[in-house]
Structure formats: C-alpha cells, structure tokens
Structure 1
Amino acid sequence: MNRITLKPLTLGLIAASVLTLAGLGLISTRSEAADAGKPAALAKAALTVNVTQAKSGMLPIKLAANGSVAAWQEASVGAESNGLRVQELTVAVGDSVQRGQVLATFASETVQADVALARASVAEAQANAAEAAANADRARAVQGTGAISAQQINQYLTQEQTAKARVESAKAQLDAQLLRLKHTQVIAPDSGIVSARTATVGSVVGAGTEMFRLIRQGRLEWRGEVPSADLGRVTVGTHVVLTAPSGTQFKGRVRMVAPTVDAASRNGQAFVDILGPVDGGKAASGALKPGMFARGDFELGNSGGLTVVQTAVVVRDGFSYVYRVGADNKVTQVKVQTGRVLGNQLEIQSGVQANDKLVASGGSFLSDGDTVKVVEQAAVSPSAAAPVADKPAQATGK
C-alpha cells in the first residue's frame, strides 16, 4: 500500500485554512446572536416619522352655499315726452350718477315753440277776461235801475265767468307745455351706477321707452341657494363671508329669507346685503358685479370637536384613515370619519380620541402593524387655523 507523504509546507497551509474557516463561523454566529439581542424597533423600523395629537376645542359651524350677485334694486329711466329726437347723451354704462343729474337731452325747439304759443294763449285769455270783468262791473252798477234788461246783465256776468275759466284753461295748457320742456332732459331718479344704455343720439323715442337702467345706490346683494333642509338654520341678521371669483372676500348680512322654496331644485333663497371687504380695505375693481357667481359661508355659531393636521389623514379606496402610534412604536391603521376643514386642520368626527398619538405625515407609506421610529412630537392647535366650511371633506393622500 502506497503512503502519501505531505510536506511540512503543505501541512501548514491546510492548518491555516481550517483555522480561517473556524474563525469566520464564529464571527457569523456572534453577529447573529448580537442582532437577535437588538430591540425590534431599531432593527425593523419601516419609517422615521413625527407624531401629532388629536386636539379638542370649539370649532366654528359654517353652512356653505352657492349663489349669484345681483343688484339690490334697479331703476328704469325712460322718455316721458313723445316724438322727440335725442340730442345728447351725457353718461355711459358704468358711470356713477347722482340723484337729479342730467342723463340725456332732447331737441327742444318744437317744445319751446309750443310753450310760446301757450303763453300767447294765456295773454289773450287774460285780456278777454279783463274786458268781460269790466262789462260785468258796469252791469252790476246799473242793475235794478232798468237801464238794461236783466237778461243782458246775466249775459255779462256769464261772460265774466267764462273768460276766467278760459284763463285757467290757457294756464293749464302752458303748464303742460312747460312740463314737456322739462321732460326734454332725462333726470336720474336716484343715485346709482348706469348698468345699461339703450338710447342713441339722433333717435326719436316714444313716451315710456327705456333709455337707461340704474343700479340704485350702487348696492349689490348676494342671493344664496340654500337647501330646504338647512333653510331653517339661516335667519335674518346671520353673518356671511362671501368669496368672489377673484378670491376677494366680502362681509355680508342676511336681509331676508325667501318665504318659498323652488319646486324644481328644492332650494330656498337667502338675500344677503354685501357690506364690504373682510379686511376693511378697498375692494379690487370689478371684484363683484351683478351676474357673477360667488360662494358664501353662513356663520352659524360654534361647536366642540377634534381636529388633526390634514397630512395625518390618508385616503385609501374612498375611506379616510390615520395611523395611531402605540407604546411599542407599532402603528395601527384606524378608519375615521372626517368633517369640517379649518385651514390646515381637519375635523375628525369618529375613530380617534383626544391626545391620541398619530403619524403626522407619510402615512401613505405605512401599513397596519409597521414599526416606526419617532423622532419628534409636534401637536398643532386647531385654533391657529382659519375656518372654511361646515361640510364633510376628505383629506388628500395616496
């Protein structure tokens, strides 16, 4: 039998290899043992998060509605004389006018001629009345003497009365012509803003034809469409915040609530006087005009509730969730019912309790049961947010 003889160098290499493998195995075993001894939170943290708390407080109750801006009242200004030619228009659409201001004038030559004729008629009637009065006075002087008959005396007295009546008639005709002359100027019946002008220079208009339309006193109102179920919550004097299409906000107050509800839409109208910009400054030009759409929020008081920062709410499959952090840093997915939006805060109507620790942001990257690493706790007070609307809303999320 042949025997294999190993040289000393070969034996040394084999021994070194065995020792190396043994050392690697020992190191691996110790590493696994060390990993097994580490806390689970440090070994398997799925995400590093901040936490927030659900806070309770008094929240404003608001009823949101849509509607249109309209003129408080409109005045129709038309011609009062018939068959006159428009000579001059002194205002245009959008101009502000004052009560008694001249808006337009008609050609007055014909009317002035009629006035002169009426004056002459008055003078003639007065002359005839003076002669009749003198004859009547002479008849009275000889009455009873037999110088003239009783029939002649009655005739003179009757002529006196007839002449006086003709004077009054001539004066009435003069007044009518003077009124026509006055109507050759179209006067603003009230202060306001010209919203329409249909007259043109040179046109001949008939009596009663509309020439201008005014927004009386420049006052506008908002007519909000309120569902019949909520109409009883709106009362006269309720404060309203209106938002124009430009984003400018205005203060308003309910002037009247319609006594009826539209049979087709089942909505009732609330008539709101627009008082001015919310910040008390001057509103931007054209911020609100009749016919514009605007959104309004009726301020109905306050009620208690819980809020969290909106980023803490995650929407999945049409439902809203938050992630509650437990004492072991494991998160629990909790389904919640959301309510009013208040700035960056969102009302939570059910699902969490006050002072619950919730993942402030990044919940869309978590699943139920994940372990997180908490680095900071930041509680946000709901009072720091501005109220928006009393309507259920859902937070945005992945």
Structure 2
Amino acid sequence: MRKILLAVAVLTVVIVLIYLRRGAEPPAVTAPNVSSLSVEVVQARRQLWPQLLSASGALAPWQEAVINAETSGLRIASLEADVGSRVKKGQLLATLASETVLAEESKQQAVVAQAVANLEQANSNDRRARVVGQGGALSEQQREDYRIKVATAKADLAGARAELQTTRIRLKQTRIVAVDDGIISSRTALLGKVLSAGDELFRLVREGRIEWQAELDSRQLARVQTGQLARLILPGGQSLEGRVRLVSPTLNNKTSRALVYVSLPEDSAARAGMYASGQIELGPREAVTVPDTAVILRDGRSYVFTLGDDMRVVQRPVEVGRRLQQAVEILSGLNEPARIVRAGGAFLNDGASVTLVQPQVAQP
C-alpha cells in the first residue's frame, strides 16, 4: 500500500513540473509586415493649362513660284541651278542661245537709224517748202504733202524703236532668273531643249517657307484663331513649334473639313510632302495634375496608387487628359488631398505595404 501511494505522489510531482515548464515558455512572436518598396508621395496640383486641339495634315510650301520660258524657238544653252539650290531674287538659273536675238537687235538698230535719217530728210524738205511757199511758188496741197511726209517719218521711227525695244526684251528673256528668294523644288529644264513660250523650267518654294496644313472639322475650326501656338511631330520624331497663320473661311464640300495653315520656322527639318500630327494650343483652362510617372497603364486603363494611414497603397483607376512638361491631367477618379505615389507604381500591387521616404531637399 505504501508503494502505491509513493508511486502516485511521484507521478503527481512529475505532472506538476511539466505543467509549470509549459507555462514558462514565451508567447509566439507575430512577424511584422514586410515593406515591398520605398516610395515618395505627392499631392495633385491645380494649374492653368492651355487646351490642346489634336490635328493632323500635310506639310506644303507656303507659296510656290513657277518660272516659265517667256520666248519661243530658242534652245537652253546652260543650266546654273538645280533642285535644292537656295537662290536669291534675280539670280541666274539658266541661259538661252542668244545669237539669233543679237542679230535681230543689230538689224533693228539699223532700221532705227534709217528711220531717223528719213525723218531728218522729211523735216528738211518741210522747212524748204515753208520758205518757198511764202512766195507763192508752191500750192497749199504740195505744202500739205511735205507735212504728211514728216508725220509719216515720225511714225516709222517710233515703230522701228518699238521693234528694237521688243528685240531687246526678247534678248533679256534669254536669261532665266529667279523671281523671288527661295529653294528650287523642281527642274524640268533640259540642256539643249528648244523651248516654246510658257514651258515650265523651274519651280521654287518662296523664301523656303514650309507650313503645316492641319485638317479640322467645323466644331474644332470655331475654336482656332490666328496667332495661336501649334506643336507638331515630324515623321522622323523631331518636334516643331509654329503659329497659326490663316484659318480657312470655308470647308471642303466632300470631306466637311477645313484647313488651318501653321507657319513653321525656316531651315527646320520639315519638308514639303511630309504628313505630321500635332496639337494647337487654345485658351487656358484649370487642370488637376500629377507627375506623369505617377500614372501607370494596366490592361488598357490608367491607374495611380494612393497611400493610406496604414502604410498600404490602394490602386485607383483614373481618367487622364492633357499631358504637358512631364505632368498629366487627371479628369476623374482621384481626390485631391490624397497622397499619391510619385513613381514605381509598376512594381506595386493593390494593398502592398510600403515605406515612406521623404524627398531630399537640395542643400543651399
């Protein structure tokens, strides 16, 4: 009996020791939240931004000048300019063979000299007739004949001088010159070709000026005014700025669209025949803006991440509008006081925990 009681006592002591040992174990430690990214936050800003009107259209010369042959029957003797040549007004572009015209000029000079001599003779005869007629030796009819011969000689001289002037004009036309400053855009003149009056020889872009002919519909056209700033992108990726020079007063009957002519800077990469897209700046309008790095694109929609008090981010869909100078307009989907993740949203997911980093301030 004593052995049984001793065994029970020992067992009880063992159970008590096990229980006390378990109660002394430290509680389990809950793992802290692990931050996935360190971020900076910004708030949306209200700014006055110009309204942008998107358009596209062709690039064309401001004005073209056509240089034609003004005389016929002469061959091209020399060519002094080619496509791409930058020329000044009056600069020689080509010459025509002038031997025939020079011979005609010499002939007409002789005709003029003969007409001058005939007039002098007629005047001399008329003076003598007046002296003799005072004595009654000549009839009134004879005296009238001498006066008519003087008038006829004067008319012959005027005609000869006019023919000489015509020949000299034709001689001047053997020099083909630029009618204005510009750049030669085409050349159809061929060395040795015999010309007819009106044949096109050269075509030039006046002053080298190229403009953008933006196509707009009637609703857009009503918002555009002369002098507004326009920005366009050339096919090669270059950006250009210009000013609206002219707004077309009518629309095309077939397309119901009108042209807006935008002057571009000289010596730019713009070339006639290119097709470009761009935007025309209208009057300013208030915009809620965030840095463009804060907006990410997923599944065809735009999102921003906002930071809550629990240091977790929330993915919010937004509607974006205009873009200007590394910022983007938010049209809807965002409360302005919200803290917005400035960058790195592409590496975040909805509900992710982040660490807030204060932006560094430049030292003075």
TM-score range, shorter chain: 0.7 to 0.9
Does residue 374 in structure 1 map to residue 355 in structure 2? yes
TM-aligned CA deviation for residue 365 of structure 1: 4.4
Task: Give the whole-Å Cα distance in 2 for the aligned partners of 1:99 and 1:317.
Answer: 59
Q: Which runs of 5+ in 1 are unaligned?
A: 1-14, 277-282, 380-398
Q: Which residue of 1 aligns with 2:71?
A: 81
> Cα RMSD (Å) of the superposition?
2.9
2:193 aligned to 191, 203, 209, which one?
203
On the 8 A contact 1:87/1:106 being kept in 2, the answer is yes
Task: Give the whole-Å Cα distance in 1 for the aligned partners of 2:240 and 2:312.
Answer: 48
Residue 321 to residue 146, structure 1, CA distance change in 2 (3 Å): same
TM-aligned CA deviation for residue 26 of structure 1: 8.2
Residue 143 to residue 298, structure 1, CA distance change in 2 (3 Å): same
Q: Could you report, residue by residue, the CA deviation over 1:175-231 in whole angstroms, capped at 9, with x for unpaired residues? A: 111111111111211121111111111100111111111111222222122333222
Please say which of residues 103-112 and 233-242 is displaced more in the overlay: 233-242
Residue 333 to residue 243, structure 1, CA distance change in 2 (3 Å): closer
Task: Give the whole-Å Cα distance in 2 for the aligned partners of 1:204 and 1:77.
Answer: 16
Q: Give the letter aligned to residue 149 of structure 1.
A: S
Q: Which residue of 1 aligns with 2:145?
A: 155
Task: Give the whole-Å Cα distance in 2 for the aligned partners of 1:190 and 1:48.
Answer: 65
TM-aligned CA deviation for residue 255 of structure 1: 1.3
Does residue 30 in structure 1 map to residue 30 in structure 2? no
Task: Give the whole-Å Cα distance in 2 for the aligned partners of 1:356 and 1:310.
Answer: 16
Residue 122 to residue 216, structure 1, CA distance change in 2 (3 Å): same
Q: How does 1:183-332 map to 2 (within 5 A)?
A: 183-275=173-265, 287-332=269-314
Does residue 47 in structure 1 map to residue 44 in structure 2? no
Residue 73 to residue 173, structure 1, CA distance change in 2 (3 Å): same
2:119 aligned to 119, 125, 129, which one?
129
Q: Give the letter aligned to residue 354 of structure 2.
A: K
TM-aligned CA deviation for residue 252 of structure 1: 1.6
Task: Give the whole-Å Cα distance in 2 for the aligned partners of 1:221 and 1:320.
Answer: 35
Does residue 362 in structure 1 map to residue 345 in structure 2? yes
Task: Give the whole-Å Cα distance in 2 for the aligned partners of 1:135 and 1:60.
Answer: 91
Q: Could you report, residue by residue, the CA deviation over 1:34-87 in whole angstroms, capped at 9, with x for unpaired residues? A: 32xx6xxx34x5733414233213142232322222211111111111110110
Please say which of residues 312-321 and 346-355 is displaced more in the overlay: 312-321
Q: Which residue of 2 aligns with 1:3?
A: none
Q: Give the letter aligned to residue 313 of structure 1.
A: V
Residue 342 to residue 144, structure 1, CA distance change in 2 (3 Å): closer
Q: Give the letter aligned to residue 321 of structure 1.
A: Y
1:104 aligned to 94, 99, 110, which one?
94
TM-score (normalizing by structure 1):
0.77
Q: Give the letter aligned to residue 373 of structure 1.
A: V
Aligned residues: 344
Please say which of residues 254-263 and 144-153 is displaced more in the overlay: 144-153
On the 8 A contact 1:60/1:300 being kept in 2, the answer is no
Task: Give the whole-Å Cα distance in 2 for the aligned partners of 1:179 and 1:217.
Answer: 27
TM-score (normalizing by structure 2):
0.84
1:345 aligned to 298, 306, 327, which one?
327
Q: Which residue of 1 aligns with 2:47?
A: 58
TM-aligned CA deviation for residue 248 of structure 1: 3.5
1:178 partner SS: helix
TM-aligned CA deviation for residue 144 of structure 1: 4.6
TM-aligned CA deviation for residue 371 of structure 1: 4.5
Q: How does 1:174-189 map to 2 (within 5 A)?
A: 174-189=164-179
On the 8 A contact 1:125/1:163 being kept in 2, the answer is yes
Q: Give the letter aligned to residue 49 of structure 2.
A: P
Residue 362 to residue 292, structure 1, CA distance change in 2 (3 Å): same
Q: Give the letter aligned to residue 117 of structure 1.
A: K
Does residue 172 in structure 1 map to residue 153 in structure 2? no
1:306 partner SS: strand
Task: Give the whole-Å Cα distance in 1 for the aligned partners of 2:329 and 2:111.
Answer: 85
2:249 partner SS: strand
Q: Give the letter aligned to residue 107 of structure 1.
A: A
Residue 344 to residue 167, structure 1, CA distance change in 2 (3 Å): closer
Report percent identity of matched pairs.
38
2:323 partner SS: strand
